[in-house]
Amino acid sequence: MAKIRALPQRKAVRPLDTPTDLKPEGVAAISKALNALLADTFALYIKTKNFHWHVSGPHFRDYHLLLDEQSEQIFATTDDIAERVRKIGGTTLRSIGQIAALQRVQDNEAEFVPPSEMLRELMTDNKDFAANLRDAHELCDKHGDVATASLIENWIDETERRTWFLFEASRGADRTGH
C-alpha cells in the first residue's frame, strides 16, 4: 500500500502580489520613479494634444501633424510603463488626482499660445523628461533591474528624437515669425 504524503500549505498570496527576484526596497524605489514618469507621460500627452488641437498659423498642417504623431508616441508608452511597474511587483496610478500630484510637466491652460512658443515649451518639457528618464535608469542600475533600464533606454531615444524635431521645427517658426 502506497503512503500518501500531505502537501505543504501554500503561503497566502496578497492580491496584486507579483513574484520578482528584485528586493522589496528596489521594487518600491523603482515603482515610485516609474509612477512619476507615468504621471509625466500623461501630462506631456495631454499638453501635446492640447497644442495639436490649438495650433494656428501658416505652418498649421506641419505642426498639427507633428504634434499628433508625437502625442501618439507618448501615449503608446503609458501602458508599457504601467505594466512594468506591475511586472516588478509594484502598483501603479489609479486616478487623475494621482497624476496631478506626481506630474512634473507643467500644464499650459492659456487660451492662445503662438506656435513657436508651443514648440519651444514642448521641446523643454521633452528635454526635462529625458533627464528624469536618465535618473530612473540610474535607479534601476542601482537595484539591478536591467529589464526596466533597457526599456528606459528606448524611451530616452524616443524622447530625444521628439526634442530634436521640436527644436528644428521651432527654428523654422522663428525664421517666419510665427
Residue range 21-49, pLDDT digits in tens: 899 999 999 999 999 999 999 999 999 99
Sorting pLDDT into bands at 50, 70 and 90, what band is 173?
Answer: low
Residue range 99-150, pLDDT digits in tens: 999 999 999 999 999 999 999 999 999 999 999 999 999 999 999 999 999 9
Average pLDDT over residues 11-17: 67
- Arithmetic mean of pLDDT over the chain: 92
Q: Domain extents for the chain? A: 24-176
End-to-end CA distance of the chain: 90
Yes or no: domain 24-176 corresponds to CATH 3.20.20.60: no
CA distance 43 to 74: 10
The count of C-alpha atoms lying within 13 angstroms of the C-alpha of 46, restricted to the half-sphere facing its C-beta, is 14
CA distance 169 to 47: 17
CA distance 141 to 165: 29
